[in-house]
Structure 1
């Protein structure tokens, strides 16, 4: 696991920090647009285009190729504990374009916010065992 404290999740209220793998990266980073459009046609056939800017809600699905974005079971347990805190918000720092990007997020609990698959199958996992992970967040306004 490659970590150097640049990719991390920080609880904005408590300051608790969870170090993540620097191999985790937002999947589909370029798919989301801050501009949304709606089109309709007037009675005379003229197209009407309405546009506005989204203020928040960008999804952040943090993934890495298999075997590259692994976290220990202990780290996953820490993430689950943070996910289950009602109203908790976080700073997500991750590497992109040779710099550290920072966004304010919440866990996306409308779906599986944390998916973890063991790298090696075992009947009694240890806290030091590694898991491939997918983490899902939603960006919120940072005020």
Structure 2
């Protein structure tokens, strides 16, 4: 597996399924604009380059990319560490890309639903998982 999440501070690695991919990779622009009008009607456009904040919603189609309950538990434990940052490695365009992220806890950072309609408390049970991150500066 090449898709993984690594805690920057502790080095703890959680392997993810290589079928998981940022579903919102094309929804974000590095350029942000603000427009306003001067009193004479002239439009004023201000632009800047965003330094960080790109969302990464990592997921797979419902019929692949499943994660075990043990992996979901490990992800939840990492999510609940205050100020934790991670290296997210994922496959894209025939390469492994690496970005520095943190869990996006402004909403549901992790959603997991069982593959089967019933589950047991087994760590091997499989889940359809969506992970939400925000890119942060990698300094």
Cα distance per residue 1:68-103 (max 9 Å; x no partner): 121000000000010011111000000000000000
Matched with 1:66 is 62
Q: Which runs of 5+ in 2 are unaligned?
A: none
How many Å apart are 1:65 and its aligned residue? 0.7
Q: Name stretches of at least 5 consecutive residues in structure 1 with no aligned partner.
A: none
Q: Does 1:110 align with 2:106?
A: yes
CA RMSD, 1 decimal: 0.8
TM-score (norm 1): 0.95
How many residues align? The count is 139
- 1:123 Cα deviation from its structure 2 partner: 4.8
What is the distance in 2 between the residues matched to 1:86 and 1:123? 30
TM-score (norm 2): 0.97
Task: Flag as ranges the 4+ runs of structure 1 deviating above 6 A.
Answer: none
Conserved? CA contact 2:79–2:103, under 8 Å: yes
Per-residue CA distance 1:84-133 (angstroms, 9 max, x = gap): 11111000000000000000000000000000010002252310011000
**What's the counterpart of residue 52 of structure 2?**
56
